[in-house]
Structure 1
Amino acid sequence: MAALLQPGMCVRHPQRPDWGLGQVQSSIGNRVTVNFEHAGKVVIDLSQVDLTPDFAPRHDH
């Protein structure tokens, strides 16, 4: 999964829906830094968590 996550992609944490939408900042090995709407920047170990890509169109106003 780590190879699929590129900076700028939007993802969600399946166990933490309250964190909201996250944007991948960096991906190095199994460690991904994601900036979530309601949790800020979080480093996630992809061997422990399967982030869900969110391909829904964004409507920034």
Structure 2
Amino acid sequence: MNDLNAFLEPGMRVTHPTQPDWGVGQVQSNIGGKITVNFPEAGKVVIEGSRIALCPVFDP
């Protein structure tokens, strides 16, 4: 399976599709398909980009 989050860059804001209670997190890094995100309610989480498609958050 391809990396579903290849476009994510540090500083972008995202939510986890199955963990909405984690809040809106900020991407810290995206290296080799592993995305590190700092979520306000879950802390720093490393996500396998080929398994979970994070949802980008765009402020108006």
Normalising by structure 2, we get a TM-score of 0.88
| Gaps in structure 2 of 5+ consecutive residues | none
Q: Relative contact order (alpha carbons < 8 A, sep ≥ 6): 1 or 2 greater?
A: 2
| Gaps in structure 1 of 5+ consecutive residues | none
Give RMSD over aligned pairs. Answer: 1.0
Structure whose residues are more often helix by fraction:
1
Which runs of 4 or more aligned residues in structure 1 lie more than 2 Å from their structure 2 counterparts after TM superposition? Answer: none
The equivalent residue for 1:42 is 45
Identity %: 60
Normalising by structure 1, we get a TM-score of 0.86
Task: Find the partner of 2:10 among 7, 10, 35.
Answer: 7
